[in-house]
Amino acid sequence: MSSATTNIDTTKPSIARVYDAFLNGTDNYEVDREVVRRVQKAAPEAADLAVENRAFLIRACRFLAGQTGITQYLDCGSGLPTAENIHQVVQRINPDARVVYVDNDPLVQAHSRALLEGNETTVIVSEDIFEPEKLLRNALVRSHLDWNKPIALLHLGTLHHYNGEDARTRKDIMRSYLDALPPGSYVAISHFLDPEDEYSATARKMEDMFLHSMMGSGTFSTSAELEDLFNGLEMVDPGLVRCADWWPDGPQLKPLSAAQRCIAGGVAHKP
């Protein structure tokens, strides 16, 4: 565990630390691991959500860096560094790619700054990702990215945590981001899914144990609700699908678990 614990509340679970625990990381506390145990008791395969989300993140960033010409990335809710972080994926393809990570968790800030020391093309800022207007006015966000050129906006595994305290919807939040993006930009979203089939019961169990135990609210959304988050932008093939089915590196070699069927993602283009 890092010694950088200033302002870290170890009595309450943190979204970033719980995801880290699901990914078998070491930067989490007992209170975070207790959330994982409760969720896995209700749905033993629930760790697949975190694993599948990370795999989608890597594939989406490889696609963006390798096939779209995008050289700028704004990652909202970056979480704790792990294997294959966004800047590593995209800068392997284009060393000059610029990345802004956004996360207001103090442990994420500490670890990310240590990881990024000496990397002049990648920075982290502390802002609330559900306050897009304030985030987009941040001086480092404005200066590190060229807002006259296309940007890739990443909201991966974030929006299902929004609890609607200020009465705005998730679609409203995304509209604020998308309106600010220059033409030619892309947006990638992954989100917990209610598949509206025999796996819905599993989704609701994980929703109750994971989202509600951590934040008091939050929901798995239907495909139609997730499509709304893109606000009518042009979807990149194969569209909005289960994360495991998006731009696969090869055929599925085994059936998907119930949890893998409960997370969806997609990438869209802003003309």
Q: Phi and psi of 199, rounded to 5°?
A: -95, 0
Q: Is the pLDDT of residue 214 over 70?
A: no
Residue 36 counted as domain residue: no
Residue 207 counted as domain residue: no
Specify the pLDDT at position 42: 75
Which secondary-structure segment (H or E) carries 55? helix 47-67
**How many domains would you assign to the chain?**
1
Query: What digits encode the pLDDT tens for the residues 16-31?
Result: 888 888 888 888 889 8
Nearest to 170 by CA among 217, 117, 127, 112: 217
Rg of the chain over Cα atoms, rounded to whole angstroms, equals 17
Please, what is the average pLDDT of the chain? 90
Residue 260 counted as domain residue: yes
Range of the structural domain that residue 246 is part of: 47-202+218-269
Q: How far apart are CA 26 and CA 263, in angstroms?
A: 24
Q: How far apart are CA 24 and CA 17, in angstroms?
A: 10
Nearest to 88 by CA among 64, 60, 122, 47: 122
Residue 7 counted as domain residue: no
Q: Which of residues 218 and 154 earns the better pLDDT score? A: 154
Reported pTM: 0.90
Residue 5 counted as domain residue: no
pLDDT category at 235 given cuts 50, 70, 90 is very high
Residue 12 counted as domain residue: no
In the block, which residue shows the tokens 């909201």?
155
- Beta strand 241-242 with 263-269: parallel, antiparallel or unpaired? antiparallel
Q: Is the pLDDT of residue 4 over 50?
A: no
Q: How far apart are CA 137 and CA 177, in angstroms?
A: 12
Residue 148 counted as domain residue: yes
What's the CA dihedral at 244, 249, 250, 255 to 10 degrees?
A: -20
Q: Which of residues 198 and 212 earns the better pLDDT score? A: 198
Give the CATH number, domain containing residue 69: 3.40.50.150
Residue 32 counted as domain residue: no
- Mean pLDDT is highest, among 4-13, 73-82, 202-211, 231-240, for 231-240
Tell me how crowded residue 250 is: count the other CB atoms within 10 A of its CB: 5
Specify the pLDDT at position 1: 39
